[in-house]
Amino acid sequence: MLMQGFSTAVTPINLLFAVIGVLLGTAVGVLPGIGPAMAIALLLPVTYGMEPTAAMIMFAGIYYGGMYGGSTTSILLNTPGESSTVITAIEGHKMAKAGRAAQALATAAIGSFVAGTIGTALLATIAPWVVKFAVSLGNPSYLAIMLLALIAVTAVLGSSKLRGFASLGLGLAIGLVGMDPVSGQGRLIFGQPLLTDGLDIVVVAVAIFAIGEALWIAAHLRKTSSHTIPVGRPWMGKSDWKRSWKPWLRGTAFGFPFGALPAGGAEIPTFLSYVTEKKLSKHPEEFGHGAIEGVAGPEAANNAAAAGTLTPMLALGLPTNATAAVMLLALMQFGIQPGPLLFEEEPVLVWALIASLFIGNALLLLINLPMAPLWAKLLQLPRPYLYAGILFFATLGAYAVNKQAFDLVLLLVLGLLGFAMRRFGIPVLPLIIGVILGPRAEAQLRKSLQLSSGDPAGLFSEPVAVAAYLIIALVLLWPLANMVLRRMFPKTALGFDSLVEPAFAEPEANEAVAGQTGANAIPQAGDVPADEHHDTGNGSRPRS
Amino acid sequence: MKPVAAWLKGRSELGFAALLGAVGAIVLVDAIGLKVPYQQSDGLGPKTVPYIVATLLLVCAVMLAINVLRGGAAEPEDGEDIEIGTPIDWKTVVPLGLVFITNIIFIDTLGWVISGTILFWGSVLALGSRNYIRDGLISVALAVGTFYGFYLGLGIHLPAGLLKGVL
């Protein structure tokens, strides 16, 4: 199957789109304010008329390319655009300051290649097994798994659960708009015929990711330009290779499983990888001053997590991060139903996509090693052009879908919502996942009850469903259990905090932050439940 | 500043809680107004899920309000080009919004080439660029380029508007 995928992916036109994808991906990874999810959202209208396979190949290139580009800026500029590259910035930027930028970029790029390749191989091996298991599940199990994904993304990621659920509620409400497919009733359409078909998901995605973000940045645009460390061509010496290869493999082992879990994300594995490397290193004194292991491991973890994320996305139709969510929107836009049947119904597309991930990874290594200094030049793009460009292309794309000015009104309203969400610390991801999964979960719920003739017990008729509900209960009750544990063993909890904090804090501000969190740790734990993550949040959220 | 205004100033998040409450209320009222034809095959009906969503939103609104009143505060989103801790620069955001609305009003009558030029030029100006001529040339190039790009490359015909016949 994979061989067949390669034969589809290496046709000149698909190769061309893979190249365009990785170039665009690296560019948006390097550029501030725009990430892979926003880039794909902006491209959705343009790819509307394209061959789905070619479009998905391009999107996969953007996804992987964004990771490579993101590590370049965090090393050269100390500006981690995504929370998953925060750790890379700690050691990577120190290395760059010490004149070892070339080695840091090299270990990041080669490590990403190694992890991405292994991760994609794991995806190709595991996804068919997941599908085999998933096709045997009934509606109640799907419902439970979707609810698990919704709640895990909402409750585990982000710094405040309460704000996560607020975002989820808004997303579900947006998903309700339009004709109810079962009863034919119009919901939340206020007599507007234009709303009968529901809000166009492309418009929602572009508004929340592009308009909201551009307005938010415009409101706080940095006036002082930041300083980039000049760099030559990335390379590594023998000792760098020796110190890098094990962290790459260990990082991959951390990254893939976490990426594949709903709400596993890339932050936890990069952090775990960093802590592990620090412990295992023969040069622990170098950590905090530019240790190459601290770049190699987390970067590998980050890329392996990206591959892991695609497993539930392709095998179950469950998006677990923003980029996967937008890629799933793309599939839906092409009229392709995401879910376990995807492998059966669209084998050509799925395997070509997986094959193109291998190709894209190799391309990224080729274009990133020699061209890193060139990419860094992109940062000189004047900011007014960058953000005006985002607004311009967002408008153009949203208008081109249906060619009605009404969509632009929606774009503005939802864009202002995205702006307000960023202002008030409401995470964007639960909203998007809610818009995507909400209607599908409702359909599963109604089918399940239909099968059990309205008996709610039918929702628990399958063991997988029961297991999923148990995990949901655990996720929701965890803060409570955590609070009890902290009350009972205050010393252990404090010890854990001091272990976690320094690595997450900005190295320069290390002492100040460590002192602050030490004082905060105990009162925070007993405070309002919604705030218990504040002390580990560090203010960094995934960039859209 | 009046004491009430001063008190409210640090608690603008209450506004977001009110928004959540309003959306929740709208979902609730809309769901109540639905007429449900009795269908054997659909025991749950179209109302149940909106009720759940409305409840979630209303509970979140109340809890967010309580959280804010008890001193909880949001963490505004950080980013590479963001200077966190600065007040919102309304002198940039409001003109951007106005330019955006101008485009909505005129896109169908003036056509994409003109309204798109206004959109990009206006946005660049609002964002602080003062290189008027270069900005203008880039704006026109972008608007014309996308018009023909969509026309020839994607087969999407953007409105030509006033320039119909010229383009």
Whether the Cβ atoms of residue A468 and residue A141 lie closer than 8 Å to each other:
yes
Q: How confident is the model at residue A504 (pLDDT cuts 50, 70, 90)?
A: very low
Rounded distance, CA A52 to CA A73, Å?
31
Those of residues 366-405 in A touching chain B at CB distance below 8 A are 382-385, 387-389, 391-392, 395-396, 399-400, 403, 405
Please report the pLDDT score of residue A225 as a whole number. Answer: 65
Domains of chain B: total? 2
Q: What is the average per-residue pLDDT within B114-142? A: 94
Question: Would the pLDDT of A351 be above 70?
Answer: yes
Minimal Cα–Cα distance from A45 to chain B, Å? 10
- Shared domain check, B97 and B154: yes
Q: Determine, yes or no, domain membership for B81.
A: no
Q: What is the three-state SS of A200-213?
A: CHHHHHHHHHHHHH
Q: Which two tokens stand for residue A258?
A: 């976490």
Give the tens place of pLDDT for each residue, B131-164: 899 999 999 999 999 999 888 888 888 888 888 7
Of B86 and A129, more confident: A129
- Shared domain check, B107 and B49: no
Q: Domain boundary residue among B23, B40, B69?
A: B69
Rounded distance, CA B147 to CA A399, Å?
12
- Shared domain check, B49 and B108: no
B57 in contact with A at a CB cutoff of 8 Å?
Answer: yes
Q: How confident is the model at residue A185 (pLDDT cuts 50, 70, 90)?
A: confident
Coil, strand, or helix at residue A187? strand
Q: How confident is the model at residue A197 (pLDDT cuts 50, 70, 90)?
A: confident
A194 in contact with B at a CB cutoff of 8 Å?
Answer: no
Share of chain B above pLDDT 90, in %: 54
The answer to which of A17-26, B74-83, B127-136 has the lowest mean pLDDT is B74-83
Name the helix (H) or strand (E) containing A397.
Answer: helix A383-402
- Shared domain check, B154 and B106: yes
Coil, strand, or helix at residue A178? strand
E-state strands within A113-193: 178-179, 186-187
Rounded distance, CA A212 to CA A203, Å?
12
Of A532 and A481, more confident: A481
Closest alpha carbon within chain B to A528: B67
Share of chain A above pLDDT 90, in %: 44
- Shared domain check, B157 and B103: yes
Identity of the amino acid at A179: M
Q: Residue A239 burial (CB < 10 Å; 0-12/13-18/19+)?
A: exposed
- ipTM more than 0.90? yes
Question: Would the pLDDT of A514 be above 70?
Answer: no
Q: Determine, yes or no, domain membership for B12.
A: yes
Please report the pLDDT score of residue A136 as a whole number. Answer: 87
Whether the Cβ atoms of residue A76 and residue A226 lie closer than 8 Å to each other:
no
Q: What is the three-state SS of A451-478?
A: HCCCCHHHHHCCHHHHHHHHHHHHHHHH
Whether the Cβ atoms of residue A79 and residue A540 lie closer than 8 Å to each other:
no
Identity of the amino acid at A223: K
Q: Which two tokens stand for residue A189?
A: 């359409």
Please report the pLDDT score of residue A527 as a whole number. Answer: 39
Please report the pLDDT score of residue B54 as a whole number. Answer: 96
Rounded distance, CA A81 to CA A405, Å?
33
Q: How confident is the model at residue A501 (pLDDT cuts 50, 70, 90)?
A: very low
Q: How confident is the model at residue A182 (pLDDT cuts 50, 70, 90)?
A: confident
Q: Determine, yes or no, domain membership for B123.
A: yes
The 10 Å Cβ neighbour count of residue A99 is: 11
Backbone phi, psi, residue A490, to 5°: -60, -30
Residues constituting chain B: 167
- Shared domain check, B97 and B45: no
Q: What string of DSSP letters covers B16-68? A: HHHHHHHHHHHHHHHHHT------TT-SSTTTHHHHHHHHHHHHHHHHHHHHH
Please report the pLDDT score of residue A540 as a whole number. Answer: 39
Query: CA separation (Å) from A252 to A264, A360, A516, B37?
Result: 14, 18, 33, 54
Torsion of Cα atoms, B59 then B60 then B66 then B68, to 10°: -170
A188 in contact with B at a CB cutoff of 8 Å?
Answer: yes
B147 in contact with A at a CB cutoff of 8 Å?
Answer: no
Query: CA separation (Å) from A355 to A2, A5, A20, B48?
Result: 6, 6, 16, 43
Name the helix (H) or strand (E) containing A402.
Answer: helix A383-402
Please report the pLDDT score of residue A458 as a whole number. Answer: 85
Q: How confident is the model at residue A13 (pLDDT cuts 50, 70, 90)?
A: very high
> What number of C-beta contacts closer than 8 Å exist between A and B?
233
Q: Determine, yes or no, domain membership for B22.
A: yes
- Shared domain check, B62 and B103: no
Give the tens place of pLDDT for each residue, A209-241: 999 999 999 999 877 666 777 777 788 888 898
Of A509 and A337, more confident: A337
Q: Which two tokens stand for residue A356?
A: 């193109």
Coil, strand, or helix at residue A102? helix
Please report the pLDDT score of residue A404 as a whole number. Answer: 87
Q: How confident is the model at residue A301 (pLDDT cuts 50, 70, 90)?
A: very high
Please report the pLDDT score of residue A508 as a whole number. Answer: 38
Please report the pLDDT score of residue A321 as a whole number. Answer: 87
- Shared domain check, B94 and B54: no
Rounded distance, CA A197 to CA A180, Å?
10
Q: What is the average per-residue pLDDT within A471-497? A: 72
E-state strands within B58-157: none
Those of residues 14-53 in B touching chain A at CB distance below 8 A are 16, 19-20, 23-24, 26-27, 30-31, 34-37, 39, 41-46, 49-50, 53
Q: Which of A43, A399, A421, A450 should we substitute to test contact with B (largest number of B Cβ atoms within 10 Å)?
A: A399
Chain A CB contacts of B147 under 8 Å are: none
Rounded distance, CA A389 to CA A117, Å?
34
Coil, strand, or helix at residue A186? strand
Please report the pLDDT score of residue A532 as a whole number. Answer: 37
Q: Determine, yes or no, domain membership for B79.
A: no
Rounded distance, CA A94 to CA A104, Å?
9
Q: Domain boundary residue among B69, B98, B124?
A: B69
Domain limits for position B155: 90-163
The 10 Å Cβ neighbour count of residue A232 is: 10
With tokens 């190249």, the residue in question is: A19
Question: Would the pLDDT of A375 be above 90?
Answer: no
Q: What is the average per-residue pLDDT within A281-296? A: 88
Rounded distance, CA B163 to CA B140, Å?
13
| Mean per-residue pLDDT over chain A, rounded | 84
Own/partner long-range contacts of A239-246 (Cβ < 8 Å, ≥24 apart) = A240/A103, A240/A106, A240/A107, A240/A292, A243/A292, A243/A293, A243/A296, A244/A107, A244/A110, A244/A111, A244/A292, A244/A293, A244/A296, A245/A114, A246/A280
Rounded distance, CA A408 to CA A387, Å?
18
Please report the pLDDT score of residue A511 as a whole number. Answer: 37
Please report the pLDDT score of residue A510 as a whole number. Answer: 37
Q: Determine, yes or no, domain membership for B76.
A: no
Q: Determine, yes or no, domain membership for B85.
A: no
Q: Determine, yes or no, domain membership for B105.
A: yes
Torsion of Cα atoms, A527 then A530 then A533 then A537, to 10°: -120
Please report the pLDDT score of residue A390 as a whole number. Answer: 94
H-state helical runs in A157-211: 161-176, 201-206
Of A99 and B17, more confident: B17
The 10 Å Cβ neighbour count of residue A288 is: 16
- Shared domain check, B45 and B101: no
Write the residue in B43, B56, B74 that is nearest to A425 by C-beta.
Answer: B74
